[in-house]
Amino acid sequence: METENLGILAGILIPTAFFAMVFGIVYLGTRQRLAMIERGMDPRSHKPHPAPYRNLTWGLLLIGAGLGMFLAYLLSHTSLKGDDDNAFFLYVALVAIFGGLGLFTSYRIEKKEVLDKNPQYFEQ
């Protein structure tokens, strides 16, 4: 297939895929509202639950990633002494580890706060 044919194909497929995506989102939203009406629920009263700990989660994730990058920088410039091949993997691993620790810490804080306010929340 030649290059100009790929451009024509992309010019046809991209708008078609975009239209199908928008149509699907609207169609599924309408079906959800109709299902709620059939069950006797008011679709206007259905709002997503607030996420009060979203800032805490993002903050701890970014702090963890920053600590991981800082530790990787210190390790790469002290113990590896400029070995760029291993430094990349060190950065990726430490950012993932410390970012995960930040997310885990956020989960533990949220769980403790929810259990303190609603002890029956996890009992079922």
Question: Do 65 and 105 meet the contact criterion of CB atoms below 8 Å apart?
Answer: no
Q: Average pLDDT by consecutive 10-residue portion of the chain (124 residues)?
A: 80 94 95 91 75 87 94 86 75 93 92 76 52
CA distance 43 to 33: 6
Q: What is the pLDDT of residue 119?
A: 64
Q: What is the pLDDT of residue 10?
A: 87
Residue ranges of domains in the chain: 3-45, 54-121
Q: What is the pLDDT of residue 1?
A: 60
CA distance 91 to 3: 39
In the numeric block, the tokens 């303190």 are attached to: 116
Q: What is the pLDDT of residue 124?
A: 45
Question: Do 109 and 56 meet the contact criterion of CB atoms below 8 Å apart?
Answer: yes
